[in-house]
Amino acid sequence: MKTPSQLFESFRARFGTASTSYRAPGRVNLIGEHTDYNEGYVLPAAIGFCCWVAAARRGDRKLVIHSENFKETIEASLDSLSPPGKKHWANYPLGVAWALEKAGKRLSGANFFIAGEVPLGAGLSSSAAIEVAVGFALLNLSGHKIDRVELAKLCQRAENEFVGARCGIMDQFVSCHGRAGHALLLDCRSLEFELVKLPAAVQLVICNTMVKHELGSGEYNARRAECEEGVRRLRAVLPQIRALRDVTLAQLEKHRGILDPKVFTRCRHVVAENERVMKAVEAFKREDVGALGPLLRESHRSLRDDYQVSCKELDLMVQIAVAQRGVLGARMTGGGFGGCTINLVEDAAVDEFKRNVSARYASKTGLSPEIYVTSASEGAQAVDIGQNNSLG
Ligand code: GLA
């Protein structure tokens, strides 16, 4: 990949001027899956892979955006923004401009050169990374103060209303607020958060199954609808609840009879997963890494059996991982139906873990997995090219 000074030079070669650089990270979720849109708790970390943008103001209201990954340049007017096409990469940057303007933030036109290093379609939030990086740049170039909570919400709005994906707030929020060496406990109702220090001798190892099942987004919306139905039914007997976040496992069991069996198991996943997040946070705070394994294992089992968002490749990847030395815990991460697993692996065991997991997964599936070793990283920031940080 490039260095920030190469990004600066690529921008100059294309647009003929100097630029300012920004970056925003992808994320991995340690625990708390499919809880964000139920107003619950999540525990993600920003990862070392970022979306990088070099940008400079223009004198008009045009956005000219070049994507290095897609080798394509698009132009749009800030006065008439609409999605260039279904699943088009430019929906994300244009959607953010649209959401910022809708929120009353008048923007100036800008030229952009975008280089993303978050693997695409792997469930590591390359879309949140591009949204946040572009949003950060647009606000900065247009002279607006950056409120990171508001930026995360507007990036989510861009994805919900402009791109057309009904995601929750987790990905954009941690891309804005991540901190090196920490995971972020987020209350998705109040948006209050707390940084949770991760053990120093443990790496976040992400295993990409290399499969992405097409049913993903339709099933995601179906799960959301099932959770909403659960809340609607439960309100008949628990009128004080607003979301599954407000329900306890005991209440759910007690009122099992009024729920469709499938809706019941979906709700059980969400309610139990919220409890697991809090237990995992306590374990990190006590530095009791031994307590994490059972929590991650139970999270995976619940996502597989109750929420039914895993797939055979994710199950296999977890099964192989937990049999390795030095593994504190493993589970699927992100929306599911393919993508990645998160593995907490002791430093000294990482190389052997990578070798063994790659070989076993490949021999059983015929697929070569990608394995990324990363540590928790900083959220979105402007980049001083003088620092000559590496992009690779
Ligand atoms: C996707 C969404 C998030 C979250 C996860 C599941 O990554 O973008 O908002 O719902 O799935 O935890």
Ligand 1 binding pocket includes 32 (Cβ within 6 Å): no
Q: What angle separates helix 350-365 from helix 312-322, to the nearest 10 degrees?
A: 140
Handedness of CA 38, 268, 376, 122 (dihedral sign): negative
C-alpha 63 to ligand 1 mean position (Å)? 29
CA of 166 to the centre of ligand 1 (A): 9
Q: What is the 3-state secondary structure (H, E, C) of 54-83?
A: EEEECCCCEEEEEECCCCEEEEEECCCCCC
Q: Active-site residue 171, yes or no?
A: yes
What local confidence, expressed as pLDDT, does residue 197 receive?
Answer: 98
In degrees and rounded to multiples of 5, residue 199 shows phi and psi of: -60, 140
* Nearest CA owner, ligand 1 atom 8: 167
Does the pLDDT at position 390 exceed 50? no
Beta strands in the chain (DSSP E): 20-31, 41-57, 62-67, 72-77, 110-116, 182-187, 193-197, 202-212, 327-332, 338-346, 370-374, 381-383
- Of 38, 120, 125, 170, the residue with max ligand 1 atoms within 8 A of its CB, to mutate for a pocket test, comes to 170
CA of 86 to the centre of ligand 1 (A): 20
The residue behind tokens 């059996």 is: 305
What pLDDT, on a 0 to 100 scale, did the predictor assign at position 367? 98
pTM for the whole structure: 0.96
Report the pLDDT value the prediction gives residue 308, as an integer from 0 to 100: 98
Q: Encode 138-205 in three state secondary structure.
A: HHHHCCCCCCHHHHHHHHHHHHHHHHCCCCCCHHHHHHHHCECCEEEEEECCCCCEEEEECCCCEEEE
Q: Are 206 and 314 in contact (CB under 8 A)?
A: no
Q: What was the pLDDT predicted at 140?
A: 97
Question: Torsions phi, psi of 265, nearest 5?
Answer: -70, -35
Query: What percent of the chain has a predicted confidence (pLDDT) above 90?
Result: 94
Looking at residue 213, what is its pLDDT? 79
Q: Is the pLDDT of residue 387 over 50?
A: no
Q: Mind listing the pLDDT tens digit for each residue in 85-139?
A: 999 999 999 999 999 999 999 999 999 999 999 999 899 999 999 999 999 999 9
pLDDT of residue 4: 85
Query: Is the CB of 335 within 6 Å of ligand 1?
Result: yes
Catalytic residue among 171, 305, 315, 347: 171
Other CB atoms within a 10 A radius of the CB of residue 323 amount to 12
* pLDDT mean across residues, the chain: 96
Q: What digits encode the pLDDT tens for the residues 164-208?
A: 999 999 999 999 999 999 999 999 999 999 999 999 999 999 999
131 lines ligand 1 (CB under 6 A): no
pLDDT tens track for 359-386: 999 999 999 999 999 999 999 999 977 5
**Has residue 392 got a pLDDT over 70?**
no
The 10s digit of each residue's pLDDT in 224-260 is 999 999 999 999 999 999 999 999 999 999 999 999 9
Residue 170 Cβ < 6 Å to ligand 1: yes
pLDDT band at 215; cut points 50, 70, 90: low
Residue 51 above 70 pLDDT? yes
Q: Output the CA 118–ligand 1 centroid distance in Å.
A: 16
Pocket test for ligand 1, best of 28, 31, 34, 156 (most atoms within 8 A of CB): 34
* CA-nearest residue, atom 2 of ligand 1: 167
pLDDT higher than 90, residue 330 = yes
Per-residue pLDDT, averaged over 43-53, amounts to 98
Residue 111 Cα to ligand 1 middle (Å): 30
Instruction: Give the per-residue pLDDT at 158.
Output: 98
